[in-house]
Chain A
Amino acid sequence: MEDLVNIFVKSVFIDNMIFAYFLGMCSYLAVSKTVKTAVGLGAAVIFVLGITVPINYLLENYVLKSGALVWISENLIDIDLSFLSFIMFIAVIASMVQLVEMIVEKVSPALYGALGIFLPLIAVNCSILGGALFMQERQYSTITEATVFALGSGVGWFLAIVAIAAIREKIRYSNVPAPLRGLGITFIITGLMGIAFMSFMGIQI
C-alpha cells in the first residue's frame, strides 16, 4: 500500500508529465485559455490514461516482452516482440480513444458533452503514449502499480493544465510586452512553475 501511495505522489509531483518531461505540451498550450475547457481536457486525459496504461501493461507483459509468450507454449521463450511496442501501443491508444468516445456517447450524453470534443485530440497527446512508454521503461511489477502510476500522471497533468489556465485567465489584465503575449509568456510561466515543482524532488512517503 505504501508503495502505491509513493508511486502516486511521485507521478503527480516529482515526475510530473508537464513540468518534468514536457509531455502533452501541445494540447496543454492550445487548450489552456480558459479554466473550463482545461478541466474538461484534464479529466479526459486522466480517464484515457487510466484505461490505456493497464491495457498496454497487459500487452507488454503477455505479448511483447522478451519471453512473454511463454504462457502459450514453452517453445516461444526466445521470442522478443518488443520492437513492435510503439505500433501496438499507439494502436491500442487510438482504438481505445475511439471506443471510449462511442461508449461515453451512448451511456452518458452529459459526460460526452463535457469531454466530447477533447477525446479525439487525445489520441495524439504525447502524455498518453508517454505514459505507456514510461510504464514500459520503469517496469512496474504489478498491474495495480501501473494503474496507479497512470492515474497519478493523469492527475499531475490535470493539475498543471488547470493551474496554467487559471493564470492565463488572470494574465489577460496585465501589461505583458507585446512580442511575449500569448505563447511566450505561457512558456515562461510554465518554466517558473516547473522550477517550483522541482522543490518536490526527493519526497518519499
Chain B
Amino acid sequence: MAEKKEALFSKKNRKLLSDPLDSANPVSVQVLGICSALAITVQIEQAFVMSLSVLAVMIFGNIIVSILRNLIPSRIRIIVQLVVVAALVILVDEVLKAFLPDVSEKLSVFVGLIISNCIIMGRLEAFALGNKIWPSFLDAIGNAMGYAWILIVVAFFRELLGSGKIWGFQIIPESFYELGYMNNNMMILPPMALITVALIIWAQRNRNKELIEEN
C-alpha cells in the first residue's frame, strides 16, 4: 500500500472514521440511505443484521471500486458501481438465506434494496472513486457505523416501546402490564420510524448547532 508517508491512523484518517458518526452522519445529515433505514427498524435484531450487511457490502464495495478507480471510464461508472454492489449484495443475500433464514424472511426485499441504498452509491461516487484503498476502507467503516447506530437507536426505541422487548427478550415486566401499562402499538407502524428519526435529528442538531439548516 502506498501509505508510507502517512501513518495508518493519522489525524486525517481518524477523521474519516469519526466524522460520519456525528457531524457528517449519512442518515441524519447527508440524508442518504433512509429508505432501508426506516423500514427494518421494528426490531433490533433486524436492524443489527441489516447494519452488518450494509457494513460488509460497503467495505468490499469501497475497496473494489477504489482498486478499479483508474480503470473505470467515467461515462459508465454508475453501471460499473451498480454491478459491483449488486454482486456483493447477492453474496450477502445468499449468506443470510443460508444462516439466518428467519431474519432474511423478515427483511424481504430490503436486502436487495441495499443495491440502491444511496449511502453505498454515494460513498462510492464521492469517495472511493477518488481515493486510495486504505482511506476508502476507513470511510466505508465510518459511514456504515454512522448508519448502524441510527438504525439501532431507532430500533431500540421502537422495539422497547412498541412490544416491550429488546432483541426479542421481554424487558417490561409482567407486573407493569397488570398495573395497566400497555405497549404503544403506534411504534410498530411505519410512520413512527420517521418521527423517531426526526427526534434523533432534533437532539443531534440541538447539540451541534452548525448542522442547523436555514429552512
Contact = CB atoms under 8 A, between A and B. Distances in A.
Interface of A: 19-26, 29-30, 83-87, 89-91, 94-95, 98, 120, 123-126, 128-130, 133-134, 137, 172, 177-185, 187-188, 190-195, 198
Nearest to A123: B78
Contact of A184 (B33, B36, B192, B198): B198
B75 to A, nearest CB: 10
Given A26-B35, A95-B79, A181 B212 contact: yes
Q: Interface size for chain B: under 10, 10 to 19, 20 to 34, or 35 or more residues?
A: 35 or more
A30 to B, nearest CB: 6
B125 to A, nearest CB: 9
A30 B118 CA distance: 12
B33 to A, nearest CB: 7
B53 to A, nearest CB: 13
B interface secondary structure, majority: helix
Interface string B23-38: 0000010011111111
Interface string B69-99: 0000000001100110011011001100000
B90 A86 contact: yes
Nearest to A188: B198
B194 A86 contact: no
A198 B192 CA distance: 12
B191 A198 contact: yes
A91 B108 contact: no
Contacts of B118: 26, 124, 126
A114 B209 CA distance: 37
B82 A94 contact: yes
B193 interface: yes
Nearest to B85: A90
Contacts of B117: 126
Given A95-B79, A178-B212, A179-B205, A124 B198 contact: no
Contact of A137 (B83, B109, B191, B212): B109
Contacts of A125: 116
16 contacts: A19-B190, A22-B39, A22-B190, A23-B113, A25-B38, A83-B93, A85-B112, A133-B113, A172-B215, A179-B206, A181-B214, A183-B201, A188-B194, A188-B198, A191-B191, A198-B189
Interface in B180-215: 189-195, 197-198, 201-206, 209, 211-215
A25 B35 contact: yes
Contacts of A91: 79, 82-83, 86
A25 to B, nearest CB: 4
A154 B31 CA distance: 22
A24 B195 contact: no
Q: Which of B121, B203, B213 has the most CB of A within 10 A?
A: B213
Given A22-B193, A30-B31, A83 B86 contact: no
B39 A21 contact: yes
Given A94-B78, A126-B36, 17 more contacts: A19-B190, A22-B34, A22-B38, A23-B113, A26-B33, A86-B112, A87-B83, A91-B86, A124-B118, A134-B109, A137-B109, A179-B201, A179-B203, A183-B201, A183-B213, A191-B192, A195-B189
B202 A179 contact: yes
Contacts of A23: 35, 113
| Among A19, A94, A126, A195: residue with most chain B CB under 10 A | A126
